[in-house]
Amino acid sequence: MIAAMPRPVLYVREGCHLCEDAGVLLDEMLGTEGWEAIDIGSDDDLLVRYAHRIPVLAVDGEERLELVITQPDIVEALGLG
């Protein structure tokens, strides 16, 4: 049986160019339905937690990547390589 790939979560903020770049990579690699974006501006706790670290990519609830996120980083974080 093949295990389902975890659905990554990208914590983002409106107007963040690094967030946009990471989102484009995730779209290209996983498709638009293969990951979830959460805007930290919609939750005070998330804003405090991630304000100076976004984007942050979490996989299975574990924060794996932050700030400048590259395709090789995503491959490694998701165990695709």
Q: How far is CA 41 from CA 12, 13, 49, 80, in A?
A: 8, 6, 11, 30
Taking 80 as the threshold, does the pLDDT of residue 5 lie above it? no
**pLDDT of 1:** 46
Q: 18-62, pLDDT tens digit by residue? A: 999 999 999 999 999 999 999 999 999 999 999 999 999 999 999
Report pTM: 0.90
